[in-house]
Amino acid sequence: RSWMGRRGGEGWEKASCPSNLLLSSKNGKFKSLYSGVDVTFTLSELRPATDYHVRVSALGHSTKESVSELVSFTTESCEPDPPAAPKVVNKTKNSLTLQWKSSNDNGSKITNYLLEWDEGKTGAFKECYYGHLKQHKVTKLSPSTKYAFRLAAKNDIGMSGFGETLVCFTIGVVPPPPLPPQLSKAGVNGLSLKWGPPSGMSSDDSLTYILEMEEDGSDYGFQAGYNGDELSCTLSDLRRNTSYKFRLFAHNTEGKSGPSEVVEYSTCPDKPGPPSKPTVKGKIHSHNVKVTWDPPKDTGGSDVSSYILEISEASAGNKWETAYKGSTREHVCAHLKPGISYRLKVSCIGRGGQSQPSDILTVQTSAVPPGPCHPPCLSGKAKPKEITLQWDPPSVDGGSEISEYLLEVANSDQEEHRQAYRGQSLECTVNGLLPGRTYCFWIRAANKAGLGPYSEKAEISTAPGPPDPCSIPLLMCKTATCIVATWESPPC
């Protein structure tokens, strides 16, 4: 039984029985690396510059194990292992002191260390130290700035790879006071503010901002309104039309800056609420009415500057006209039509805009007597003793329905009028007249407010008729054979 067989033309021959390959290093303990019938085996993952001992054991058909003699060898040296990341042992605003430990030299003494750094400007590492010391102080750095370092070790064989990268910061300085915040947008219940980094610093610096605010008239002083790293914020749930004072602080790892200058901004007023429903003041007249109203219960946070009174005829639908615009709270609506229903509503204007209109007041002007009718005219043909007349309603009814008409007649302008008709009809027959006479007629219309004026005079004549009977003749005897008869002409 042999561990190695004969060398053939194609390589080693197979062993005649299974074998175990055992390996031992400095601790003297063997461990099995291979078991099989092959006669070759490649050892891997060995440590550089290390003594190793190898032996082979074989087990044949008998139960007794056969062990070979020890074979010893030493692996070659190589470049060191990558060292661990350096550590910061001291830092100031402008310097960093780094320290590190040796890595495994892999059989060749470490002679130098290479320390590289990234200043954060180009993103590339460059050498900052090369030597045998295990400590180095990097100077002329910027305060509150991030730097990256990596370390490699060198021996006579070569340079190791770089170990893990160390990221660290120099000690910073407290930021200078920032400029005061600026107003971006003002609302009824909120304010939007913006600001920039303090002078000499950029938005890339690790800064947080503290915005403090104080309500005008408050006894609580400045209170925190925002704390974060954004360069703007929107404050909500504020009181409308109220002034607020603001100041801004910048904060980094070293502390908080002084406050900015105090600035003052105000929220906007809201639209006022609607005024009260208009009410009538005094008597309602036929052509005008005086109305008054109260200011809104909610002014929107600012004074009401003016009121707008609108008027509309009830029959005009949604067509409204402005009757008044001003600061007083009463107005006389003139040039109205008598007996007409009007609707009135009022709104108000403040700094926040125009309010919704008030509830609507409906008012009806008082009626007046109707206007004059056109003169009556003849209807049909005139008869000797009667005439039928007709007329039209007046063009102006005075705001009330015509209740009746009065027709008056006279023999002339100078004679007294007498009533010929009174009623609701638009025609009547006047009788008891004399044939062939001319009469004067006037018509008047009436409503609930009273009688209107007379129409212009209408002169209408009756038709001719037979004369009236003559009076009884008077007889006078003149002679025995002569009688004289006399009589008077009929009156017409």
Report pLDDT digits (tens) over 156-191.
889 999 999 998 888 877 888 999 999 999 999 999
- Min mean pLDDT across 11-20, 119-128, 161-170, 464-473 is at 11-20
Of 188, 88, 171, nearest to 137 by C-alpha is 88
Q: Does residue 314 share a domain with residue 211?
A: no
Predicted confidence band of residue 114 (pLDDT cuts 50, 70, 90): very high
Q: What range does the domain containing 26 cover?
A: 19-75
- Supply 81's token pair: 């292992």
Say if residues 455 and 417 touch (Cβ distance below 8 Å): no
pLDDT at 289: 95
pLDDT at 47: 79
Residue ending a domain, choose from 144, 169, 194: 169
Domain-located, residue 460: yes
Share the mean pLDDT of the chain: 87
Domain-located, residue 41: yes
- Mean of the pLDDT values across residues 304-333? 93
Residues above pLDDT 70, as percent of the chain: 92
Q: How many domains does the chain have?
A: 5
Of 299, 376, 266, 289, nearest to 338 by C-alpha is 289
Predicted confidence band of residue 7 (pLDDT cuts 50, 70, 90): very low
Residue ending a domain, choose from 318, 333, 361: 361
pLDDT at 316: 80
Q: Does residue 225 share a domain with residue 164?
A: no
pLDDT at 473: 86
Residue ending a domain, choose from 361, 388, 416: 361
Alpha carbon distance 188, 81 (integer Å): 68
Alpha carbon distance 120, 196 (integer Å): 23
Say if residues 51 and 74 touch (Cβ distance below 8 Å): yes
153 pLDDT higher than 80: yes
pLDDT at 204: 61
pLDDT at 74: 80
pLDDT at 267: 94
Specify the higher pLDDT residue, 32 or 398. Answer: 398
- Mean of the pLDDT values across residues 281-305? 93
Alpha carbon distance 160, 81 (integer Å): 6
Predicted confidence band of residue 488 (pLDDT cuts 50, 70, 90): confident
Q: Does residue 347 share a domain with residue 292?
A: yes
Predicted confidence band of residue 16 (pLDDT cuts 50, 70, 90): low
- Min mean pLDDT across 3-17, 414-428, 462-476 is at 3-17
Domain-located, residue 80: no
User: 440 to each of 324, 380, 385, 394, 454, how far by Cα in Å?
Assistant: 50, 18, 15, 20, 12
Q: Does residue 375 share a domain with residue 481?
A: yes
Domain-located, residue 8: no
Neighbours of 404 (CB within 10 A): 14
Q: Does residue 476 share a domain with residue 388?
A: yes
pLDDT at 409: 94
Q: Does residue 335 share a domain with residue 297?
A: yes
Q: Does residue 347 share a domain with residue 374?
A: no
Alpha carbon distance 474, 488 (integer Å): 9
Amino acid sitting at position 126 = K
Neighbours of 403 (CB within 10 A): 12
Q: Does residue 383 share a domain with residue 463?
A: yes
Residue with tokens 């009756």: 462
Q: Whole-structure pTM over 0.75, yes or no?
A: no
DSSP state of 316: G
Question: Each residue of 76-112: pLDDT tens digit?
Answer: 888 898 999 999 999 888 999 999 999 888 888 999 9
Q: Exposed, middle or buried, 170 (CB in 10 Å: 0-12/13-18/19+)?
A: buried
Question: Each residue of 320-372: pLDDT tens digit?
Answer: 999 999 999 999 999 999 999 999 999 999 999 999 999 999 999 999 999 99
10 pLDDT higher than 60: no
Predicted confidence band of residue 63 (pLDDT cuts 50, 70, 90): low
What CATH number is attached to the domain comprising 124?
2.60.40.10
Q: Does residue 300 share a domain with residue 354?
A: yes
Q: Does residue 99 share a domain with residue 68?
A: no
Of 171, 112, 111, 120, nearest to 149 by C-alpha is 120
Domain-located, residue 174: no
Domain-located, residue 461: yes
Q: Does residue 192 share a domain with residue 159?
A: no
Which phi and psi angles does 488 have, rounded to 5°? -105, 150
Q: Does residue 397 share a domain with residue 479?
A: yes
- Min mean pLDDT across 134-148, 184-198, 415-429 is at 134-148
Domain-located, residue 273: no
Domain-located, residue 138: yes
